[in-house]
């Protein structure tokens, strides 16, 4: 059986080129095959769509949906190739050029990008996948040739909102010339000033007084800049950091004004492609207002929207659009969150004071939340207990065994009844993804009381019980994999015994890699009722999306 080698070469300045050597990392044939299958599916969709430029605009979304970075990370565990790929994919925009003949292909990927990590010099990174031996019988497909070129799009303005998200691009800069932040970013990254102004308005630009420690994958030039601008002799001359420790000065803050002044040695992080929420512009927001009082507003949040925003987008939010729909002069305040792909009741405070009051009610467990969950399998009645790994990254790992340091997760299943699986038209309308569940004749609508409030709690707990939510492209694929091969989940019912912590960590990384991407719009979950003060205030959401065909 042959081996496969991934060559990752980076072209920078001539001086850097002398110092850098080509990196080579070995992939197992099974890992390479998984990677190629993702590429093949993407290219096949491109062929079926045709080659017209207007249709090819949808291909970046398909590439992003494949989550190739996770595949690469899974296939190269223990090596730095995953970091390299993630870093590369985080700064690219896809532009497809392919030649497909039947099902014969080979993948070669080249990237062109502006690498401004700590510097403003452009660079190009090429990634080539070479097959040194083939095994077509095992691959299920034959060897052929295809090339994918990644280039940046032309930038104009952030609005109108595109109908899909492009791959992320994050730029890291050390300020080499003092001046207004918008002008500096525009000049350094060759972006239109109005586009940079939009990024700042969206909350996609951050700064720190002192540059943070570069990652291990940084170039010698980047380390040189870091050392230069963090030398005690240099820092002593900066009045802006007087009285602060270096660690305090390295804290990042969102830039809010286009004319904010940046000085030499400051650090900037620019999310050139912020996460977008096109559904915000499709919703009749007035019709989603359940109640409006002097203290708070109750919103029936649509799926595919963010309550209070993301790291790089605080504009396309429920808070912003509900404020506009009500014609308020002061913005609403976020009191609690539900996932972007979840719909249902959300309380938004009219004032900062009531926001604090509602937060206190949540801490004192005076707020009750009931959910409707559309599960792929039945659930038993009663309380379900898990323990969740204390990690802020999705997907969340849970275990039915009590593990020291993990957070208690409890929910109570109040009802569970069989219903029809949503039909194809409804699934298409709400972008419900095919996550590989074997039978789609029936689903199970469960009424759930959330006893503890952890991120992704219902989604992770139900998936661990073998009843993932319909359309949950993060947790359902992993549940399907565990059903097919019991023991893959290192904390599941059929978990294995590991001889070392290193083996266990490897198994956890592999399990996480089996999870898919974040759902595009909706999953089978609705926050259908919220109440507080012993039922003095009770509000209900409208009909869940999976019942709309019955109206």
**Which residues are part of the catalytic machinery?**
339
The whole-angstrom separation of Cα 356 and Cα 295 is 11
The whole-angstrom separation of Cα 48 and Cα 26 is 33
Contact 287, 210 (CB under 8 A): no
Per the listing, tokens 């004749």 go with 441
- CA 195 → CA 95, 156, 268, distances in Å? 21, 6, 16
For 532, the enclosing helix (H) or strand (E) is strand 525-532
Q: Which of 272, 90, 259, 276 is nearest to 188 (CA)?
A: 272
| DSSP code per residue over 376-404 | SS---SEEEEEEE---SSSSPPEESS--T
Q: Is 438 exposed, middle or buried (0-12, 13-18, 19+ CB in 10 A)?
A: exposed
SS3 90: coil
Sequence-separated (6 or more) residues with CB below 8 Å from residue 22: 7, 8, 9
The whole-angstrom separation of Cα 162 and Cα 273 is 11
Strands, sheet with 104-111, edge to edge from the N-terminal-most edge strand? 23-27, 4-11, 124-131, 104-111, 142-150, 94-97
How many C-beta atoms surround the C-beta of residue 417 within 10 A?
9
The whole-angstrom separation of Cα 303 and Cα 295 is 25
The whole-angstrom separation of Cα 16 and Cα 219 is 8
């Amino acid at each position: 059986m042959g081996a496969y080698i991934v060559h990752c070469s980076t072209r920078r300045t001539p001086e850097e080129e002398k110092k850098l050597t080509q990196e080579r990392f070995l992939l197992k044939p099974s890992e390479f095959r998984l990677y190629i299958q993702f590429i093949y599916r993407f290219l096949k969709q491109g062929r079926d769509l045709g080659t017209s430029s207007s249709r090819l605009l949808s291909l970046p979304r398909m590439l992003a949906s494949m989550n190739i970075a996770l595949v690469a990370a899974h296939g190269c565990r223990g090596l730095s190739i995953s970091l390299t790929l993630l870093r590369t994919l985080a700064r690219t925009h896809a532009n497809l050029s392919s030649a497909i003949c039947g099902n014969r292909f080979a993948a070669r990927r080249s990237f062109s990008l502006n690498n401004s990590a700590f510097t403003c010099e452009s660079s190009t990174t090429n990634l080539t996948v070479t097959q040194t031996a083939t095994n077509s019988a095992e691959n299920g497909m034959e060897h052929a040739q295809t090339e994918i070129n990644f280039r940046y799009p032309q930038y104009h303005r952030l609005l109108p909102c595109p109908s899909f998200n492009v791959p992320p691009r994050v730029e890291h800069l050390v300020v080499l010339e003092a001046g207004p932040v918008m002008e500096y970013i525009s000049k350094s990254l060759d972006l239109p000033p109005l586009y940079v102004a939009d990024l700042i308005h969206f909350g996609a630009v951050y700064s720190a007084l002192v540059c943070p420690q570069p990652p291990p994958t940084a170039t010698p030039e980047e380390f040189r800049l870091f050392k230069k601008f963090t030398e005690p002799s240099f820092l002593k001359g900066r009045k802006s950091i007087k009285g602060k420790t270096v660690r305090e000065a390295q804290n990042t803050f969102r830039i809010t004004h286009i004319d904010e002044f940046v000085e030499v040695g400051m650090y900037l992080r620019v999310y050139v492609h912020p996460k977008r929420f096109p559904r915000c512009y499709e919703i009749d927001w007035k019709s989603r207002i359940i109640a409006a009082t002097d203290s708070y507003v109750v919103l029936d949040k649509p799926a595919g929207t963010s309550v209070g925003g993301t790291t790089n987008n605080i504009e396309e939010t429920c808070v912003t659009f509900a404020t506009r729909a009500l014609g308020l002069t002061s913005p609403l305040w976020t009191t609690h969150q539900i996932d972007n792909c979840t719909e249902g009741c959300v309380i938004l405070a009219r004032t900062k004071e009531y926001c604090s009051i509602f937060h206190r009610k949540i801490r004192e467990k005076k707020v009750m939340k009931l959910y409707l969950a559309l599960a792929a399998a039945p659930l038993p009645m009663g309380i379900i207990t898990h323990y969740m790994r204390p990690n802020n990254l999705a997907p969340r790992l849970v275990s039915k065994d009590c593990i020291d340091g993990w957070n208690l997760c409890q929910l109570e299943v109040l009802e569970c009844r069989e219903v029809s699986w949503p039909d194809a038209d409804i699934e298409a309308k709400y972008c419900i993804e095919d996550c590989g569940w074997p039978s789609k004749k029936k689903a199970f609508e469960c009424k759930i009381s959330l006893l503890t409030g952890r991120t992704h709690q219902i989604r992770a707990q139900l998936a661990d019980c073998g009843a993932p939510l319909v359309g949950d492209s993060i947790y359902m694929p992993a549940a399907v994999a565990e059903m097919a091969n019991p023991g893959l989940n290192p904390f599941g019912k059929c978990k294995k015994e590991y001889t070392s912590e290193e083996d266990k960590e490897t198994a956890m990384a592999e399990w996480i890699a089996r999870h898919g991407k974040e759902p595009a719009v909706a999953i089978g979950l609705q926050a259908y009722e919220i109440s507080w003060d012993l039922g003095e205030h009770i509000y209900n959401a409208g009909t869940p999306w999976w019942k709309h065909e019955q109206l």
